[in-house]
Amino acid sequence: MNALPLRRDLELPLAPLIIATHAVDALIAEACLTPKPALVDRRGSGAHRDLDLDTMQRSANALQPTFLAIARAACGVSPSQALREQLARIGREGEAAMMRATNGSNAHRGAIWIVGLLCAGAAMHAPDDSDAICFSAAEIALHEDRFAPCAAQQSHGARASERYRVAGARGEAREAFPHARLVGLPALDDARARGLAEPHAQLDALVAIIASLDDTCLLHRAGLPALRIAQRGARRVLREGGVSTHEGRAALATLEADLLTLNASPGGAADLLAATLFLDSLRRLA
C-alpha cells in the first residue's frame, strides 16, 4: 500500500526556508507590479536615478540569506531584547549584502526592517494568522537596539520622521503594521471579491496605502507638498473606482506625473505593499 504524502500542520509556523522564499518573492512581486506611480517597475526607474528593475531583483535575491537567518533566529522563541538585537545584527549584514548586490544603491533598506520583522513573526505563528504575526513583530520592534550605529539613527527616514512628527517605519512596526494589516490586506480582499484581475487588486492595495500613509520617503524627497499631493491623488484614484476603471487609470497617471515633477516617490508605501503581499502569500498557503 502506498504511503500517504506527508502534510505539514498549518497550525504550526512554516519552515524558515519557506518563509524566506516568500519574503523574496514578495519583494520581487512588488518591484515588477506595473504601473506604479513614480516607482521602479517594468516601464522604468520612476523617480529613482540609481535603481531599475534588474537592480531591485538582484537586491531581493541577495536578501534571501538574511530573511532565512531571521526566521531561523525567531523559531521557538518569544519576542525579547536579545532577539531584537540578534535580528538587528542580521539586518545590518543583510544591508551590506544588498549594497554589494546593487553597487551601492539602497533598494530595500526599509524592506529589510519591515519584511524582516514579519519573517520573525511568521516563524512564531501559523501562516494564516496575520494578526499574530504582525503583533509579535511589533513586540520585537518595541525593544531598542542598544548596539545600533549612530548612522542608523540618522537615516533619511528617521530624520523625516522626527522633522515632520510622523510614525515612519519604526512607528509602523511598533503599531503592528496597520497599513499592511488594516489597509493593504483588506484592499486586496475587496478587489478580489469584486472580481478584479490580480495586478489591479495589488495596485489598488498600493493606492490605498499611499492614500493613508505618512510616507517618509515622500517627505524626505520633497516635504509636505509631495505627501499631500500623493495622498490626494491616491484618494482620487480610489474615488474613480480604482485602477481597473478608465477614470481610475487616468487619475493614477496624473498622480505619477505630479510626483515625477517633484522627483518624489512613495517608497514607504512600496515597502508596505511588499509586506502586504508577503502576509497574503502566507495566509493563502492555508
CATH code of the domain containing 164 = 1.10.4200
Element (H, E) at 18: helix 16-32
**Any idea how long the chain is?**
286
Torsion of CA 234, 237, 242, 247, to 10 degrees: -160
Please indicate, yes or no, if residue 1 is contained in any of the structural domains: no
Give the pLDDT of residue 6: 33
Which residue in 52, 99, 65, 46 sits closest to 218, CA to CA? 46
* Number of domains the chain is built from: 1
Please indicate, yes or no, if residue 8 is contained in any of the structural domains: no
Please indicate, yes or no, if residue 151 is contained in any of the structural domains: no
Give the pLDDT of residue 152: 60
Distance from C-alpha of 113 to C-alpha of 49, rounded to nearest angstrom: 23
User: Residues 282, 23: contact at Cβ < 8 Å?
Assistant: no
Please indicate, yes or no, if residue 134 is contained in any of the structural domains: yes
Give the pLDDT of residue 150: 67
Give the pLDDT of residue 151: 63
Please indicate, yes or no, if residue 11 is contained in any of the structural domains: no
For residue 125, count other CB atoms closer than 10 A to its CB.
21
Give the SS3 label for residue 235: helix
Measured between its terminal Cα atoms, the distance across the chain in Å is: 28
Please indicate, yes or no, if residue 9 is contained in any of the structural domains: no
Domain containing 40 equals: 16-145+156-281
Give the pLDDT of residue 2: 37
Please indicate, yes or no, if residue 6 is contained in any of the structural domains: no
Give the pLDDT of residue 158: 78
Give the pLDDT of residue 11: 74
Distance from C-alpha of 185 to C-alpha of 206, rounded to nearest angstrom: 10
User: Residues 274, 26: contact at Cβ < 8 Å?
Assistant: yes
Q: Which residue has the cell 522627483?
A: 263
Please indicate, yes or no, if residue 10 is contained in any of the structural domains: no
Mean pLDDT in each 10-residue stretch from start to end of the chain (286 residues)?
39 94 98 98 95 98 98 97 97 97 95 97 98 98 86 70 84 97 98 97 98 96 95 98 98 98 96 98 93
Cα four-point dihedral sign 10, 283, 178, 169 = positive
